[in-house]
């Protein structure tokens, strides 16, 4: 069997779902398991609805909810069976009223609200498949994806998830049916709704694929595969034909939104190739991610992360006493804030974070032992390639290419596969263009 995952824009409308049905029909003989995201921007809307309700703006929340219902009704008009969606929207309306009364959106409640997107889309896509003549059946992800209870970032539990998939999905697939399931959502062992983190449908696809021993996992999206750079930063990025698991993991971690960072791990463990494809241009070759990838140029691709904050920490004692670094990282860990890049000298440490929610208390604590300076508006650029480190002169060529861009911090070495540096966010488009011209022409 194979897994085919379709992202939000691939199922954004009745017309898009019709394209998806044709793509799936063409793979019927490979016994596809279909995983879908919420339609278009539904998850963003749900977050807005939950936050508005909890902030006491009940009227606004209900207005947004009504718009979301109208959108789903309109796109399912051709099915003529809106009544399947009605109980789901009624439940969601009750939840919104509950949140307005409670006045808070706990992580658990946030998961409950966000789960409606995939609950709706998976039912809708299954119905459309049947409407277009495919032998399709809906399987409830929340009965299959069993996770821990870290709400909004839940981790799948392998053994129970595999057992449920074998029991609920595998027999249907074996019987020749096309199973349709929602990505992103799951439940704890006791049945409480969880989600795998934003963009998590890719992860669901990989977990389900690993559970059933898929021959291949296909990630269908709105671009021609993994591109040499983020197309929103550099419009002339080109598709990368093949790339290794490790390179893909590195790119995803450093901001290439095309894959959720955890997606590759289950595929690596079971050595399942992942193919990234464009649902609007199914004829395009896409990107093959596998254990080995034919050597390309110097780098495989450029990833970047915006909205990075730099924290400079200088010891107030003359020299860096032992334990200084440990104390710094304890402070970040205690506030659940992960650090992306680090550079150290004898008396100072510079590091970057992208989650600034807890920065105030972190800085307050650090100031007891050090001078601290915080500056926002930075970006990380990360050049990824399996043979970054073994190549002499490579950093020279990189920094020559961007010689008139002010580089604030550099990191190479932690991984053999990347060379990353920090610049001002305003320099990002120029830096990516210069690097692209130097290394991907």
Closest C-alpha to 210, from 147, 273, 142, 253 = 273
- The angle, 0 to 180 degrees and rounded to 10, between the axes of the packed helices 324-334 and 359-366 is 150
C-beta neighbour count of 393 within 10 angstroms: 8
CB of 121 to ligand ADP, least distance (A): 11
Q: Which does 360 bind (CB under 5 to 8 A by kind): ligand ASP, ligand ADP, Mg ion, none?
A: none
Q: Which x/- pattern over 96-135 shows residues binding ligand ASP (rule: CB under 6 A)?
A: ---------------------x------------------
Q: Does 32 bind ligand ASP (CB under 6 A)?
A: no
Q: Which does 268 bind (CB under 5 to 8 A by kind): ligand ADP, ligand ASP, Mg ion, none?
A: none
Segment interacting with ligand ASP, rule: CB under 6 A, options 65-73, 74-82, 197-205, 369-377: 197-205
- In angstroms, the CA 331 to CA 325 distance is 10
Q: Yes or no: say if 362 and 335 are a contact pair by the CB < 8 Å rule.
A: yes
CB of 223 to ligand ADP, least distance (A): 5
Q: Does 209 bind ligand ASP (CB under 6 A)?
A: no
Give SS3 for 100: helix
Q: Which does 38 bind (CB under 5 to 8 A by kind): Mg ion, ligand ADP, ligand ASP, none?
A: ligand ASP
Segment interacting with ligand ASP, rule: CB under 6 A, options 137-145, 199-207, 336-344, 352-360: 199-207
- The angle, 0 to 180 degrees and rounded to 10, between the axes of the packed helices 14-25 and 116-131 is 60
- In angstroms, the CA 248 to CA 340 distance is 17
Non-local (6+) Cβ contacts of 320 within 8 A are 346, 347
Segment interacting with ligand ASP, rule: CB under 6 A, options 37-45, 71-79, 81-89, 141-149: 37-45
Closest C-alpha to 382, from 268, 233, 181, 197 = 233
- Residue 7 CA to chain centroid, in angstroms? 11
CB of 248 to ligand ADP, least distance (A): 10
Residues 166-185 within binding reach of ligand ASP (CB under 6 A): 183-184
- 285: which 2 tokens? 């070759």
> Which residues lie near ligand ADP (CB under 6 A)?
7-10, 37, 199, 221-223, 226-227, 229-232, 256-258, 301
Q: What is the CA radius of gyration of the chain?
A: 23
- In angstroms, the CA 386 to CA 415 distance is 10
At 143, which helix (H) or strand (E)?
none
CB of 200 to ligand ASP, least distance (A): 5
Where are the extended beta strands (E) located within 369-438? 370-384, 409-412, 418-424
Among 199, 225, 255, 286, binds Mg ion (CB under 5 A): 199
Segment interacting with Mg ion, rule: CB under 5 A, options 5-13, 116-124, 158-166, 210-218: 5-13
Q: Does 198 bind ligand ASP (CB under 6 A)?
A: yes
- The residue with its CB nearest to ligand ADP is 7
# binding residues, ligand ASP (CB under 6 A) = 13
Closest C-alpha to 183, from 205, 160, 155, 206 = 205
Residues forming contacts to Mg ion in the complex (CB under 5 A) are 7, 199
Residues that bind ligand ASP (CB under 6 A): 7-8, 37-38, 43, 117, 183-184, 198-202
């Amino acid at each position: 069997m194979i897994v085919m995952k379709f992202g939000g824009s691939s199922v954004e409308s009745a017309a898009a779902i019709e394209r998806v049905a044709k793509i799936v029909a063409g793979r019927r003989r490979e016994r596809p398991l279909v995983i879908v995201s919420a339609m278009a921007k539904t998850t963003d809307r749900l977050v807005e609805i939950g936050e508005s309700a909890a902030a006491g703006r009940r009227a606004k929340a209900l207005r947004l909810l009504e718009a979301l219902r109208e959108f789903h009704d309109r796109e399912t008009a051709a099915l003529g069976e809106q009544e399947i969606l009605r109980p789901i929207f009624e439940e969601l309306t009750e939840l919104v009223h509950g949140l307005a009364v409670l006045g808070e959106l706990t992580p658990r409640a946030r998961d409950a609200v966000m789960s409606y997107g995939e609950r709706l889309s998976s039912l809708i896509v299954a119905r459309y498949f049947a409407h277009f003549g495919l032998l399709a059946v809906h399987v409830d992800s929340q009965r299959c994806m069993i996770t821990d209870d870290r709400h909004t970032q839940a981790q799948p539990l392998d053994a129970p998830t595999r057992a449920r998939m074998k029991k609920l999905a595998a027999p249907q697939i074996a019987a020749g049916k096309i199973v349709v399931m929602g990505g992103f959502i799951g439940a704890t062992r006791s049945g409480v709704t969880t989600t795998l983190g934003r963009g998590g449908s890719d992860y669901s696809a990989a977990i389900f694929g690993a559970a059933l021993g898929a021959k291949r996992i296909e990630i269908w999206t709105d671009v021609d595969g993994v591109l040499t750079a983020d197309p929103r930063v550099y419009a002339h990025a080109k598709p990368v034909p093949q790339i290794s698991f490790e390179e893909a993991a590195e790119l995803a971690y450093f901001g290439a939104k095309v894959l959720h960072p955890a997606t590759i791990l289950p595929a690596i463990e079971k050595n399942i190739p992942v193919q990234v494809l464009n649902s609007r241009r199914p004829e395009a070759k896409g990107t093959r991610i596998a254990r080995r990838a034919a050597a390309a140029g110097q780098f495989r691709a450029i990833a970047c992360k915006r909205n990075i904050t730099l924290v400079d920490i200088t010891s107030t004692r003359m020299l860096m006493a032992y334990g200084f670094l440990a104390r710094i990282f304890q402070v970040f860990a205690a506030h659940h804030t992960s650090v992306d890049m680090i550079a150290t000298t004898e008396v100072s440490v510079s590091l970057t974070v992208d989650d600034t929610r807890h920065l105030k208390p972190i800085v307050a604590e650090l100031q007891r032992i050090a001078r601290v300076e915080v500056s926002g508006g930075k970006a990380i650029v990360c050049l990824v390639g399996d043979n970054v480190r073994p190549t002499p002169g490579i950093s020279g060529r990189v920094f020559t290419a961007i010689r008139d861009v002010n580089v604030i911090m550099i990191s190479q070495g932690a991984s053999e596969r990347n060379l990353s540096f920090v610049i001002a966010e305003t320099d990002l488009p120029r830096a990516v263009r210069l690097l692209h011209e130097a290394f991907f022409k």
